[in-house]
Amino acid sequence: MTAEDKPNVLIVGAGIGGLLLGALLEKAQVPYTIFERTSSVKPLGSALMIGNNLLPVFEQLEIEKEFIALGKPTMDCSIYKVDKGVPVHQTTVSFQPHIGYTGYKSYIVSRPQFYDLLLNQVPSHKIHFNKRVLSVVEAEDKVTIQTADNSTYEGDIVVGADGAYSAVRQRMYETLKQEGKLPKSDQEELPFHCTCLVGQTEVVDMELFPEIKNDMSPFFNTMSDDSPFTWVVFATAQNTLTWMVLHHLDKASSKAAEEQRFRESDNSEWGPLAAQAMCDQTRHFPLPVGSKKFTMGDIYDWTPKTQISKVMLEEKVFQTWYSSRKVLLGDACHKLDPSGAHGAVTSMHDAIALANLIYALPSNTTKAIEKSFAEYQKERIPHVMESFKNSQDLALFMNRGFAGTLAMWIMKKMPDWFWAIALRRMCRSRPQVGFLPLIANKGSIPAEPSPSAEKARAVYVKRLAAKAAAAAKEEPSAV
């Protein structure tokens, strides 16, 4: 494929996955445009935990140092359970061996600051805001999107990176359903078992929290003794506290069910008032850290109201990730429980695999594109399902019933050698970008092969050889 034949990629959604895909396509010199339905992205939320499975790519993009400057190293999770109003330490889950296995630490990074880091990798003129997608139509080996402002954009590929309620997925599934090609499970609503408050405080005097003011501190997970809540607190390198409070529901719900409840009762479960109500309900929850008896109420008081939001935590892996020239990425095709801290990671791994395969496309025909999308899903689905299962397993610790008690007992009694096996398995997936200089393995456990990276690498080497040969022909003969 020549430079003129490179596909034009339309990315719908300027979230973390969409931005990373744009940054990678920028390096690959593949034309792309990002469309975001809002006037600006407000990356609410608390923090991300990112480590060995993404840092090699950050090195390739030459943003590793910037990322590390934003992050706070953390390799442990301290778990507490409230007993008679006092948080009592249960166990500490350590990820320290990962440093030796991979050569990288893990970092807690403020989600808004990490978002801005990725945003800076994409030229501003390649992101269009206020572009809500209404339709996605294919005709004559092209795909066209129409936005709410009556604009149309034509490309070779449309990537739905627009979240759990993806417009691209909805349009794609409507067509497949009419054709009788959509699996029954993909027609079902996204279920959720938790709602969650998330936020980030203003700068806090870390002298008040001696347990977390050091360079490398754990994050703290506390479970209630008499109510279905779990609260988590992290420290950032900027001396803020990021936090989330999870409400574990008695039974699964869905967005459709919540909307129906709203229509019937005229009492929304979402928005600023609902977030404030949940804050009021949970203010008394004690923190396991601090020089005095702090509660979540203190955390809320230190957090700007605009930085507090209530969200639903859906869980689902869709079967259908692509159709013809349309493909899904991140939450649009798999939504994970945050307990495993893998939601953003899996989204970015999707972007890496997809960028590799787009770079390596042999042609812009629908057949070639769909074949690459099939390779993309085949490579990614085992990792996504593993992360999905890990997230559900880790969520068991927060269960108030027998399953939670058993899971906690197993973790406390687990031999070091068995935990080491689990840790080694967790760090195998460290994909890289095949069309950028590769990063040498730094730890004792090599990364597992990435088919998309190997395919992109082969094309990259071939193109380099072709350029060298062409340059040699143009050089004047020696006299």
Four-residue CA torsion sign, 366, 135, 19, 336: negative
Count of structural domains within the chain: 1
Determine the average pLDDT of the residues in 113-123: 95
Whether 10 is in a domain gets the answer yes
Confidence of residue 317 (pLDDT cuts 50, 70, 90): very high
Which residues form the domain of 451?
3-42+111-188+316-463
Residue 280 inside a domain? The answer is: no
Tokens of 336: 């994970």
**Which residue reads 């989330």 in tokens?**
244
Which pLDDT band, with edges at 50, 70 and 90, does 216 fall under?
Answer: confident
Is 177 within a domain?
Answer: yes
Beta strands 241-254 and 229-235 are antiparallel
The angle that helices 451-474 and 366-395 make with each other, rounded to 10 degrees, is 140
Structure tokens at 143: 């795909």
Whether 201 is covered by a domain: the verdict is: no
DSSP string, 11-49: EE--SHHHHHHHHHHHHHT--EEEE-SSSS----S-EEE
Among 395, 389, 405, which residue's Cα sits nearest to residue 193?
A: 395
Take residue 446 and report the two structure tokens written for it: 């090599």
Nearest Cα to Cα of residue 325 among 140, 143, 133: 143
d(CA 234, CA 108): 7
User: Comparing C-alpha atoms, which of 76, 77, 74 is closest to residue 107?
Assistant: 74
Which pLDDT belongs to residue 253? Answer: 64
Residue 418 lies in a domain: yes
Whether residue 129 contacts residue 116, with contact meaning beta carbons closer than 8 Å, is answered with no
324 assigned to some structural domain = yes
Task: Tell me, yes or no, whether 434 lies in a domain.
Answer: yes
The whole-angstrom separation of Cα 468 and Cα 445 is 35
| Tens of pLDDT, residues 243-302 | 999 998 877 665 665 555 444 444 344 467 888 999 999 999 999 999 999 999 999 999
Enumerate helices (H) and strands (E) in the chain, giving the number of each: 14, 21
Judged against a pLDDT cut of 70, whether residue 459 lies above it is answered with yes
What is the model's pLDDT at position 214?
Answer: 77
CATH code where residue 131 lies: 3.50.50.60
pLDDT, tens digit, 9 for 90 and up, residues 140-168: 899 999 999 999 999 999 999 999 999 99
pLDDT at position 466 over 50: yes
Contact indicator for 356, 430 with CB cutoff of 8 Å: no
What predicted TM-score, i.e. pTM, was given to this entire model? 0.91
Task: Say yes or no to pLDDT of 391 above 80.
Answer: no
> Distance between CA 127 and CA 225 in Å, rounded?
47
Best CA proximity match to 25, nearest among 473, 355, 456, 479: 355
57 and 456 Cβ atoms separated by less than 8 Å: no
Alpha-carbon separation of residue 358 from 73, 217, 362 (angstroms): 34, 40, 9
What is the per-residue pLDDT across 323-361, written as a single tens digit (0 to 9) for each?
Answer: 999 999 999 999 987 655 577 899 999 999 999 999 999
- Sign of the torsion formed by the C-alpha atoms of 454, 458, 460 and 464: positive
Beta-strand relationship, 219-223 and 309-314:
unpaired
Does residue 242 fall inside a structural domain?
Answer: no
pLDDT class of 474 with cuts at 50, 70, 90: confident
What is the average pLDDT score of the chain?
88
